[in-house]
Amino acid sequence: MTFTRTASGEVDGLTISTRRVRYLRAKRLVAASAPAPRAGSSAGKVRGR
């Protein structure tokens, strides 16, 4: 990943390799297919008897 900057130091452009694009896309697809965590099911709320 590389950045190009203007004379004032602001980021003007971004170049990402094809390999990194494939990695990020695969990571996003895996995250999207994972089940969402259920609210209220944390271990801290469970009490032993």
Per-residue pLDDT of 1-34, as tens digits, reads 888 999 998 988 888 899 999 999 999 888 888 7
Cα separation, 29 vs 33, in Å, equals 6
- Report pLDDT for 42: 55
CA distance 17 to 12: 17
What global pTM score does this model have? 0.45
Beta-bridged to residue 2, according to DSSP, are: 15
- Give the pLDDT confidence score for residue 41 in this predicted structure: 56
Helices (H), 1-49: 18-33
Question: Any idea where the domains of the chain sit in the sequence?
Answer: 1-32
